[in-house]
């Protein structure tokens, strides 16, 4: 990685079925901050991709593993995850945790070390969450943030920060200038 964001690749993973929803807006602001700091940004929308749940076959954990045994759209994402220095995971809260699309993605990351033994080490992670209730505890946002924090700590990745806020209607989060500013600042941190 070079200074000032040059050559830093940031991969934005959107886990909402709405490409213009609140979590997508927040994730987009993180991406804009990273781009402004000179990073290359690529975006993946999980909704609509053919990504099956983990089958717990452990094929990816065998010493001679060539990767995940499930042949689906996650195969193309593995290499993007390995090639990037930072990830942004943006998800709405659905039923007191991250969206199902995001959870399937997270579960399938179990196989990532089969593609690169040090795939998680030194990765910088940013998380964006949106939820309907005014309280992050009542909404379940805190549950999702805890899942991300625990998972990335376990594998040696660095959770650089998270931004989260309440919004009910699609696009409503765009009126929260303070939150959007915090998201852009998180993107700048990920690009360094």
57-97 pLDDT tens trace: 999 999 999 999 999 999 999 999 999 999 999 999 999 99
**In whole numbers, what is the pLDDT of the chain averaged over residues?**
95
Q: Is 9 domain-assigned?
A: no
Q: Is 6 domain-assigned?
A: no
Q: Is 89 domain-assigned?
A: yes
Model pLDDT, residue 122:
87
> What is the extent of the structural domain holding 95?
14-191
Q: Is 7 domain-assigned?
A: no
Question: Do residues 46 and 17 touch, judged by C-beta distance below 8 A?
Answer: no
Q: Is 24 domain-assigned?
A: yes
Axis-axis angle for helices 100-108, 141-155 (nearest 10): 10
* 139/149 Cα distance (integer angstroms): 18
Considering its fold, how many domains does the chain have in total?
Answer: 1
Closest C-alpha to 111, from 47, 150, 55 = 55
Q: Is 3 domain-assigned?
A: no
* 159/46 Cα distance (integer angstroms): 21
**What's 34's domain CATH number?**
3.40.50.360
Quote the percentage of the chain above a pLDDT of 70.
97
Q: Is 67 domain-assigned?
A: yes
Question: Which band of pLDDT confidence, cut at 50, 70 and 90, is reported for residue 2?
Answer: very low
pTM (2 decimals)?
0.94
Q: Is 129 domain-assigned?
A: yes
Q: Count the Cβ atoms, other than its own, within 10 Å of residue 109.
A: 23
Q: Count the Cβ atoms, other than its own, within 10 Å of residue 95.
A: 9
128-161 pLDDT tens trace: 999 999 899 999 999 999 999 999 999 999 999 9
């Amino acid at each position: 990685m070079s200074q000032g964001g040059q050559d830093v690749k940031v991969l934005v993973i959107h886990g909402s079925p709405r490409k213009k929803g609140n979590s997508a807006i927040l994730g987009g602001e993180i991406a804009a901050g990273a781009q402004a700091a000179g990073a290359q940004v690529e975006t993946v929308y999980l909704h609509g991709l053919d990504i099956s749940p983990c089958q717990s076959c452990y094929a990816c954990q065998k010493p001679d593993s060539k990767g995940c045994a499930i042949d689906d759209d996650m195969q193309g994402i593995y290499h993007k995850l390995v090639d990037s220095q930072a990830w942004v995971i943006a998800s709405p809260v659905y039923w007191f945790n991250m969206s199902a699309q995001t959870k399937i993605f997270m579960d399938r990351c179990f196989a990532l070390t089969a593609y690169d033994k040090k795939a998680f080490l030194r990765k910088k992670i940013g998380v964006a969450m949106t939820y309907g209730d005014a309280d992050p505890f009542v909404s379940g946002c805190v549950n999702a943030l805890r899942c991300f924090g625990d998972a990335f700590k376990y594998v040696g990745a660095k959770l650089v920060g998270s931004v989260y806020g309440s919004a009910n209607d699609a696009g409503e989060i765009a009126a929260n200038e303070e939150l959007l500013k915090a998201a852009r600042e998180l993107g700048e941190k990920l690009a360094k």
